[in-house]
A and B are shown apart, each in its own frame.
Chain A
Amino acid sequence: EDQVTQSPEALRLQEGESSSLNCSYTVSGLRGLFWYRQDPGKGPEFLFTLYSAGEEKEKERLKATLTKKESFLHITAPKPEDSATYLCAAPNSNSGYALNFGKGTSLLVTP
């Protein structure tokens, strides 16, 4: 069964303290690994798609990387406005390739 698992569940950082979020997946025939940001009470906002091991994508203080078994979202010198829940997802071949989401990492960045 396709699974997406994120860790840690919650992370608290000081402003400027870099860290990484992990997303491990067991998906047969990966057709992309997707990262989203979700603010409380809002819809998830698309960040990145990665398709092959070794691929990297960057956006401001965020960089996503992909290996054959996991993906990392690196946050460099975070600011309080980076506080949000970060979700990763992979298409599920048993559900018409609808995105199957992990439970997310809740990030809090304090000044």
Chain B
Amino acid sequence: DSGVTQTPKHLITATGQRVTLRCSPRSGDLSVYWYQQSLDQGLQFLIQYYNGEERAKGNILERFSAQQFPDLHSELNLSSLELGDSALYFCASSVGAATEAFFGQGTRLTVV
């Protein structure tokens, strides 16, 4: 158990809908990262938060947004969903930058 909790584990939704994925980081970790993993793309970095503030963006679509709350949990919002958004979404947390990140078990999103 990494100590990072993600909910829900599975999500099935229709195209055009909006969903929210939730992540609770390990106790004491201030950095939260979101990654997307699809079969053909590998693990793609989406966005990073540090202590409530956005730190860096990766390959995140404009339809996607995230935030980190004062209690350090984070949410990833995906809107206007398309079939191609079906993937595993992982949250990871770390103490700080350039340190080992610990991953949750992921949310499997299926868009139908």
* B50 smallest CB distance to A (angstroms): 7
**Segment from A18-26, A44-52, A63-71 that makes contact with B:** A44-52
CB-defined contacts of A103 to chain B, threshold 8 Å: 42
Partner of B100, one of A42, A46, A92: A46
Chain B residues numbered 3-62 whose CB sits less than 8 Å from any CB in chain A:
4, 33, 35, 42-43, 45, 48, 50, 55-58
What is the total of A-B residue contacts with beta carbons within 8 Å? Answer: 67
The interface on chain A, measured as residues whose beta carbon lies within 8 A of the other chain's beta carbons, has a size of 25
How many positions in chain B have a CB within 8 Å of any CB in the partner chain?
Answer: 27
- Tell me if A43 and B58 are in contact (CB < 8 A): no
Determine if A43 and B56 form an interchain contact, defined as CB atoms under 8 angstroms apart: no
B102 at the interface (CB under 8 A from A): yes
The answer to whether B50 touches A46 (Cβ under 8 A) is: no
Q: A98-B48, A102-B42, A103-B42 are in contact. Are A43 and B104 (CB under 8 A)?
A: yes
